Structure 1
């Protein structure tokens, strides 16, 4: 493998500086109110230089999503390795997703924003940028890991899933359920939780445990 040159390191550092500036702006000012000019100013770079590294503001966000999804994947991989059976690994993946929200909240919100931007124009393969490619690869790794754990749970008979179940579909349902539970208590401060004096962290753990129990084979 060819060693990285000083120029390569400088380019990488500049790209990371742009992403750092954009992350702070997106989380503080909101994505729709953040301009390329404000990102450039925060990063200490010219607006023109931003376009050398990213196609547009949406592409910068996808670069952030690539970083966030890599953090999530590493956490999920670490947690799932602690389990032996399929259901143990699925339970661990649920804990990893909730802990990702609790301990890396800004990264969780970056990925959540990606969902709201998913309806943007569909890109052809020729138009795919490095940021899009990186994000897509990390997301594939996340769903691949979840799918493998679901399949293990089917094979070792520790889940109540039928042999003909589609592991990817189950993995998507699991991730969607976890995400929905998290967003229910997060969006807008969720006054109903405060009014009912519900401990959010405890509620999240109980909800995650119920989801895991719903997949567990009853002996």
Structure 2
């Protein structure tokens, strides 16, 4: 049985406290306005302590976002089990994304901000880790699409990876716009948010389904 020392447990707990504090500050203040000083105050550590664990703000941001994608994958894996065909599993992935969006709207916004963050040399390892987890998400979707192609429930006339990336981009863009202006949009057109979201997920999935 593997055991870790008390010192290592304390180190892990301290790192988790820093990540939790960073997540809270990033969500509250936004990435640009957040500072290591604010994060240090939130977790009641010194800035010096933060820099013992993370090279800079970018490094800490990627850590928070990587944890978000890890959680998203957990949502995917749970919902996949509820489908029998490739198409059903793909549809369940869409609704898993919706559940994640509802449960972690703040994290979702941070995950979508990654394109605006300028990476520094000190954060290269975290950036590689981030790319690895996002690749895992794409691979999960692609695997389901290939399964659907084989069982005859998903179109075979479109390249799997093109279909994967297009689906991800469309769904991410939809929820991003929903997070930015959804309430105003729903109110203006007197829409039920739940029904509107389900309609859009089903519409996207229907474009992928193989027609009999």
Q: What does the per-residue CA deviation read over 1:153-173, in whole Å, with 9 as the maximum and x for residues that have no partner? A: 1222211232xx432221111
Q: CA RMSD in A?
A: 1.9
Distance 1:99 1:75 in 2: 8
Distance 1:5 1:16 in 2: 17
Distance 2:4 2:202 in 1: 46
Distance 2:177 2:156 in 1: 27
Q: Structure 1 residue 71 and structure 2 residue 71: aligned? A: yes
Q: Structure 1 residue 148 and structure 2 residue 169: aligned? A: no
Matches within 5 A, 1:45-64: 45-64=45-64
SS in structure 2 opposite 1:128?
Answer: helix
The residue aligned with 1:159 is 154
Distance 1:103 1:158 in 2: 30
Q: Structure 1 residue 184 and structure 2 residue 186: aligned? A: no
Matches within 5 A, 1:37-116: 37-116=37-116
Structure 1 unaligned regions, length at least 5: none
Structure 2 unaligned regions, length at least 5: none
Distance 1:115 1:76 in 2: 23
Tell me the number of residue pairs that the alignment of Structure 1 and Structure 2 aligns: 212
Mapped contact 1:185–1:200 kept (Cα < 8 A) = no
TM-score (norm 1): 0.89
Residue 169 of structure 1 is aligned with which of 162, 166, 179? 162
Shift of 1:197: 1.3
